């Protein structure tokens, strides 16, 4: 259970399965929303509509085809050494029952923010540095339903999102092409948009472009 993509069909019957997502939806301008300061104090912190509007205030309207990324700081907790901290489950309870994932506490997208983002803007995907796009305490999975319901893919357990600037990177995120799949491991990376040039239909990366690899949380978290 490392960095993976949920296809819309993961929650929405009859919607896009992995092989049906158009290739052009696998890349887009990164919109990075930083809630790490709040999440440091509150494991139940959510990306709010206000956070998205504040991003627009600073950087302009969320572009069509964007990949909206939550930076909650949780990526730093990932790893076999701190499963408890990453999942927001007390260590003693995890030890008693390693399969008990009820009552988790980690950040995610609030319901109102998820609905606004997918109804009022046209984004390709959403990525989070936690195990779920819904906050751990959610029981309704409103963010999953809102996003996948609008054919917006979701990446969970994204790494290194704190190395991205709020705007100015382009994300590429391509899952295995699993026929009829509802989810798959994904390799995701980002490149500064000003170092990309397109010509003749191909994407050219400047030689000195530093590529930020977003994938990385691949250790067996749940095994």
Q: Which residues pair with 169 in a beta bridge?
A: 192
Going along 39-120, which residue ranges are E strands? 46-47, 67-71, 108-109
CB-nearer residue toward Zn ion: 75 or 192:
75
Per the document, the length of the chain is 223
Q: Which residues pair with 125 in a beta bridge?
A: 67, 153
Nearest to 146 by CA among 13, 54, 11: 11
CB-nearer residue toward Zn ion: 7 or 30:
7
Contact in structure between 132 and 46 (CB atoms under 8 Å): no
Return the structure tokens found at 136: 């751990």
Q: Is 34 in the site for Zn ion (CB under 5 A)?
A: no
CB-nearer residue toward Zn ion: 140 or 198:
140
CB-nearer residue toward Zn ion: 94 or 145:
145
Query: Is residue 146 packed enough to be buried (19+ CB in 10 Å), middle (13-18) or exposed (0-12)?
Result: buried
Chain centroid to CA 152:
11
CB-nearer residue toward Zn ion: 8 or 29:
8
Return the structure tokens found at 27: 């890349």
The minimum distance between CB 89 and Zn ion, in angstroms, equals 17
Contacting Zn ion (CB under 5 A), which of 6, 46, 51, 129? 6
Residue carrying structure tokens 């026929």? 179
Give the interface size with Zn ion as a residue count (CB under 5 A): 1
The minimum distance between CB 10 and Zn ion, in angstroms, equals 6
Task: Please identify, among the stretches 3-11, 20-28, 33-41, 48-56, the one whose residues bind Zn ion according to the rule CB under 5 A.
Answer: 3-11
The minimum distance between CB 12 and Zn ion, in angstroms, equals 12
* DSSP for residue 209: P
Contact code string over 119-158 relative to Zn ion, x by CB under 5 A: ----------------------------------------
Task: Please identify, among the stretches 2-10, 42-50, 98-106, 209-217, the one whose residues bind Zn ion according to the rule CB under 5 A.
Answer: 2-10
CB-nearer residue toward Zn ion: 87 or 191:
87
Residues that bind Zn ion (CB under 5 A): 6
């Amino acid at each position: 259970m490392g960095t993976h993509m949920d296809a819309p069909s993961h929650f929405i019957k009859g919607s896009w399965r992995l092989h049906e997502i158009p290739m052009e939806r696998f890349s887009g301008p990164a919109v990075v929303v930083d809630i790490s300061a709040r999440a440091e104090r509150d494991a139940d912190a959510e990306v709010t509509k206000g956070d998205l509007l504040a991003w627009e205030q600073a950087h302009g309207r969320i572009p069509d085809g964007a990949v909206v990324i939550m930076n909650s700081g949780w990526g730093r907790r990932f790893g076999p050494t701190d499963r408890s901290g990453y999942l927001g489950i007390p260590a003693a309870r995890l030890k008693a029952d390693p399969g008990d994932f009820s009552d988790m506490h980690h950040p995610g997208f609030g319901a109102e923010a998820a609905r606004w983002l997918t109804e009022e803007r046209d984004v390709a995907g959403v990525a989070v540095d936690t195990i779920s796009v819904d906050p751990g305490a959610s029981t309704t999975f409103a963010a999953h339903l809102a996003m996948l319901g609008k054919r917006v893919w979701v990446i969970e357990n994204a790494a290194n999102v704190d190395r991205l600037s709020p705007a100015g990177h382009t994300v590429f995120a391509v899952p295995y092409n699993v026929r009829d799949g509802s989810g798959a491991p994904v390799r995701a990376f980002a490149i500064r948009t000003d170092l990309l040039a397109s010509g003749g239909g191909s994407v050219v990366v400047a030689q000195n472009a530093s590529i930020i690899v977003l994938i990385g949380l691949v250790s067996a978290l749940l095994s």
